[in-house]
Structure formats: C-alpha cells, structure tokens
C-alpha cells in the first residue's frame, strides 16, 4: 500500500529595508486601528497590490473611520449605560 504525503505550502519570510518613517507610521496606525499585527497589514497590502489572495474582500478597514473601534472598556461602559433599557416591565405594557 502506498502512502501519499500531503505537501504543505511552505511560507517564506522577507525583510524590507529602507522604509521611511511616514510609511512605518502609517502601517503601524493601520495595524492598531484594525486591531491586528503589522505583519498581517503588510501581507494584506501586498496581496491587494499584487491582486492575489482570496476573492472575498475585507472591507472592515475601509470603514473604521466611520464607525470606530470600541475597546473592551468602551463596550462595558455602553452595556452598563443601556442595562436599564433592556429590562421589561410588565406594568408599562398595560
């Protein structure tokens, strides 16, 4: 009986030298606003620029300035603020 080994696609690493401060700052800001790593941001930018990757587009980053990103503290504060609104009071429905 022959056994076939599934070959996995190996990933490679590259280094990019000579990035100016503005570009580094923009990449860092994008990673922070998207809540992801610098590595992931660079890979997404390269994928978009080269037209590779999934056909499914990730539009989250495009709209961050419109809806913002909540921290866990922001979410807790919001949940606390609306807690009373979620209570159902039977006497108010008569």
- Asked, for residue 55, whether it belongs to a domain, the answer is yes
Asked if the structure places residue 46 within a domain, the reply is yes
Q: 10-64, pLDDT tens digit by residue?
A: 788 999 999 999 999 999 999 999 999 999 999 999 988 888 876 566 677 777 7
pLDDT score recorded for residue 1:
46
Query: Is 8 within a domain?
Result: no
Do the domain assignments include residue 58?
yes
Instruction: Say if residues 6 and 21 touch (Cβ distance below 8 Å).
Output: no
Q: Within a domain: residue 4?
A: no
- For residue 51, what pLDDT is reported? 84
Terminal Cα-to-Cα distance of the chain (whole angstroms): 76
Residue 2 lies in a domain: no
Residue 41: CB atoms within 10 A of its CB come to 20
Domain that holds residue 36: 21-87
| Global confidence as pTM | 0.47
* Residue 60: partners with Cβ closer than 8 Å, 6 or more residues away: 34
Asked if residue 71 belongs to a domain, the reply is: yes
Domain count, the chain: 1
What distance lies between CA 39 and its chain's CA centroid?
Answer: 12
């Amino acid at each position: 009986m022959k056994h076939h080994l599934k070959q996995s696609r190996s990933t490679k690493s590259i280094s990019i030298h000579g990035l100016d401060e503005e570009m580094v700052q923009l990449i860092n800001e994008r990673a922070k606003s998207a809540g992801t790593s610098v590595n992931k941001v660079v890979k997404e930018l390269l994928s978009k620029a080269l037209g590779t990757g999934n056909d499914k587009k990730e539009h989250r980053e495009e709209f961050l300035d419109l809806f913002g990103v909540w921290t866990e503290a922001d979410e807790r504060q919001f949940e606390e603020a609306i807690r009373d609104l979620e209570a159902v009071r039977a006497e108010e429905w008569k």
